[in-house]
Amino acid sequence: MSATSRKQTIIAFLQPFAFIISWRMSTKLPPRLADLLDSLPLAELAFTPVPVKARHDGWTPERQQGFIHRLALSGCPAAAARGVGMSRESAYRLRARPGAESFAAAWQKAQELGEDDQGDRALERALFGYVKPVFYRGRQVGQYLVHDNRLLSRLLARQLHREAAARQPRKFPSS
């Protein structure tokens, strides 16, 4: 293999990774997630960004908003932080900063929305199944419908646990 064709092969191989890195680091949502976001009550997620020192790799107001939107879609702070190119730990530190009360309230609301939506999607997937593609020699040759009974049983157990916790009165230590 000549040096030129080898160099072209390496460049062609690395280009998709550069796209993935630049997509993951951006605060803009992919189109399919942006469509899901339109169905959420965004007015309830409005907040005042936490004042932080300006850094190109820090928690800018755009990253904070992107984090809250991704949290409302997933219900998972780690996934939301990764989606905007930050760590879970730095997100928790940002929430604990002075002046982050509005951000913390938006976080709580977004997490509730995300968990509710996540449960709905999981229930739909457990009840109605999902299409799983079949591949042979790198090509899709068919598909079949899969029902996940383990997922359904976990969802039911989670719901029963929540109902039992709601029925029990909370006990607070007396002072």
Domain count, the chain: 1
Q: Does 175 reside within a domain?
A: no
Q: Over range 114-130, report the average pLDDT.
A: 75
Q: Does 149 reside within a domain?
A: yes
pTM of the model: 0.58
Q: What is the pLDDT of residue 97?
A: 92
Q: What is the pLDDT of residues 8-57, one digit of tens each?
A: 444 444 444 333 333 344 456 667 667 677 667 777 888 989 988 888 88
Q: Does 174 reside within a domain?
A: no
Closest CA to 99 of 53, 68, 44: 53
Q: What is the pLDDT of residues 55-83, one digit of tens each?
A: 888 999 999 999 998 888 888 899 889 98
Q: Does 25 reside within a domain?
A: yes
Range of the domain at 136: 3-167
Q: What is the pLDDT of residues 152-171, one digit of tens each?
A: 787 778 778 878 888 877 66
Q: What is the pLDDT of residue 12?
A: 43
Q: Does 58 reside within a domain?
A: yes
